Structures are given as structure tokens and as C-alpha cells.
Chain A
Amino acid sequence: MENEVKLAAGAMVALAVATAALVILPYIQVRDIHAPEGLKPYTSAELRGREVYIANGCVYCHTQQPRDRNLGPDAERGWGRASVPGDYIYDKPHLLGSMRTGPDLFNIGARQPSQDWHLGHLYQPRAYVPGSIMPSYPYMFDVKPEAEEGDVVLKLPPGAAPNGRVVVARPEALDLVRYLRGLNHTYPVLPPQPRGEAAPAAAPPPAGAASSADAKAS
């Protein structure tokens, strides 16, 4: 092996093959999908909350990708149907996650719609879920002698509230909870269409259903 050009060229070809397979082909396959009908773009408050979610690294303990029934009881745990590419159309960056130290949050807004629960749980998770190892986020809240005009006061379980003082949510906590409550992907997506068959005329499929065929196949 005496030729540095062969070395560089070979290395580049190897990387190009990998890039074609894992970056370019998936891009070609999913670029034409559209949002499912039931999926709404994030509001600006939700987007701010999403930034809080990203900044505090929630993604390292929580996934947002329920798996298919044959890969685990995600649906039975109430985490929802397996996700499809169209579900993530507004997500930038993606927050699929790779770890389930905590439960999947893809449909947390549907499972737990209460703002009070979310705020209190962020303030002290162990007051709501005994044995939880989620960190508490006291820096997203203010502890004051009494609430002022416009403050959102936390309704904490007995024992969790500081004595004689009130806990009020800071804007980042409120935004984060708005984002979490907005995580609701319970809208229907059509079952995968077999390739080559026309979609039933009666119910035109939402765009994106065709590309979800491959996703379900995994």
C-alpha cells in the first residue's frame, strides 16, 4: 500500500456510501411528506417552552417516539400509537430521544392535561411520583411571602410547599408546561397502504400516509 491518493479516495468513497445510505436516501424518501390533518404547528409560547425543554436536556431521559406493539407495550402504557414521520414535521431539532429513564412524552399532553400537576411536578417530582429520579427544577420558580398580581401560584400537595410562603411559576416554567400539555399526537393516521394499490376513494389519505408505510414496516 504505497499510494496516498488511493487512501484518500477510498476513504471518501466509503464515507460517501454511508452518507448516501443514512442521510441522502432518507431525505429523498421523507422530504415530500406533509403534516397529518390533526397536527397543529406549535404556538410561539409552545416554541419557547420547547427551547426550555432543549436547554435543560429533557431529551436525555425522555423519548418522543412510541414504538410499535410488536416491539414493546408502549401503547398499553398509554403512550400512544407508533409515531410516523409526518408527526415530526414541525420539529427542529428533532427530539426523538434515545433513553427512557423517564416515560415517553409523545402524548403527555393527552395523558396529563392539568397545568397544576405539571407545574407542581416540575417543582418537586417526588411529591407526585414517589421514587421518581427526575431532578426538581426549583430555579424555574420563585418562593415569595405572598403572591402578587398576575402570579401563577402552585397548588402543591401537603408537605411539599414551603411553610408560610407561596411558590409561583416563572415564565419559563409556564412555557415549558404549555409545550408539554401541547404534546398530543392522538389524532389518527391511516394504516399503511400497500404499495401500488390506489388509496380508497371514499377516504382520501392525508398526504404522508404513503411514506409512513415504510416506517411501520420496521
Chain B
Amino acid sequence: MKSLHVSRRSDFTVGWVVAAVGLAYFINTFFVETTDDVVDPATFPRIVGVGLIVLGVLLSLSALRPVRQPAAAEATAGSATTAETTGNSVTESHRPTVAESAAEAEAALEASVAGDDAQSSSARRLRVLLYFAVFFAYLLILIPVGFLVATAVFLFAVTTLYARDKWLRNIIFAVAFSAVVYFGFKYGLGVFLPPGILG
């Protein structure tokens, strides 16, 4: 029940964020130059903006609705945790919970991850931030520093953050992979990656 609480609280916040984004999007349509057509360039964006506002508000309100069916609520909480393991982000159409067997599949998967739910979720959040920061740094230096050096440094950073003791393997992998991709793209595909400081 505790996790359910959290997911509903997040729905409440998400709803308002979506509505706010929708409002900004909607306001921005008034800066679009209009034409005499029945549908001008601003019409469709305006519909989308209003849609975001309405759906966002609905999502927030739905999070406030009292829970009637504990069984259904449990299923929601379950799907929230298993979304992690089923690879929510890599799929093309999402877990259809309409299906009974979907619930079973989730239950089975849930069993495999049970027991480590909130194991220091704040530490995990910190690691996510860290990896995103390293990734952004990589994107920023890729062109000025050049692909070979930037990539080797990035890969070494990522692998070493993950497995500190394997630093030698990490160096070899970082250098070898950067070189293979660079020369593969250059000679195999005719795509020239930024040479940067080596160029």
C-alpha cells in the first residue's frame, strides 16, 4: 500500500506538470503567424496544447479519487514496480494489462525482483544524475575534443564508475572500442566523425 501511495502522489504532480507544459505550449501558439486558411499553422498545436492541459488536470484529479478496489490497486502498484524489469522503455507496445496473463506475467516477474524495492533509492537517484552528467559532458566535448579522445575518456569514465577494480580492462575496452567505431565509420561507411584535437 505504501508504494501505491507514492505512485498516486507522483501522478498528482505529473498531472500538473503536464498541464503546465500544455499551457506554455498553448500560449506559444499565439506567437505563430496566422494565415487565412481554415486550418492555419497554429490550429493543430492549439488543439494539442488544450489536450495536454485537460489530460494533465484529469490525471491529477484521478490521483485524488479514493481507492475503491484494493485488488485493482494492488495490480497498479505491481505494474509500477515491474515496469522497471519488463524493460518498459524498450518495447514497442506496452504491457497490455487488459490480459489476465499479463497480470500473471507481471506477478512472475515481480517475484524475481521482490525484496529490493527501495534499497537506497536516493543513492540510485544520485547515480542516475551522475551518469546523465557524464553523458552530457561527453555530448559537449564530442565535437571540440574529437571523437577518439572524447569517446575513450567517456567509456573509461562510465566503465570505471561501474566497476572500479577492472580499470585495466576498462582502458583497453575504451581505447579499442573508440578506435574500431572511428575507423569503421570512416572507412566502412564513409562517415567522418569529428577529429577534434587530433585533426
Bound together = no
Please report B residues at the A interface, Cβ cutoff 8 Å. none
Q: Which residues of A contact B (CB under 8 A)?
A: none
